[in-house]
Amino acid sequence: MANVELTPNLSRHVHCEALSVEGSDIRQVLLAVCAANEPLRRYLLDDQDRLRKHVTVFIDNTQIADRKTLSDPVTPSSSVYIAQALSGG
């Protein structure tokens, strides 16, 4: 199972903790994360289950390449980090 961590700034909006989920690509992993924490879905995915523009995902310290279909592969030993961009001054 892939280990998933979320940036701490997301916890200001919704309770979220690190977790382990099944999935062979980042789409499956993100959908599993959202299934485990439904309020988190609106911060990560749009209404068509695409990654929101202000969210960045890393698999084993490498930023995902496919933001549209989320086909980047994930292995059971992968570490996934989900970051939400911050704005303001």
CA angle 24, 31, 81 (to 5 degrees): 75
pTM for this one? 0.90
pLDDT, tens digit, for every residue of 12-59?
Answer: 778 888 999 999 999 999 999 999 999 999 999 999 989 999 999 999
User: Which structural domains are found in the chain, ordered by start?
Assistant: 2-84 (3.10.20.30)
What per-residue confidence (pLDDT) applies to 69? 94
What per-residue confidence (pLDDT) applies to 66? 95
What per-residue confidence (pLDDT) applies to 87? 64
Full 3-state SS string of 33-52: HHHHCHHHHHHHECCCCCEC
Please determine, for residue 62, whether its predicted confidence score (pLDDT) is greater than 70: yes
Q: Which amino acid is at 85?
A: A
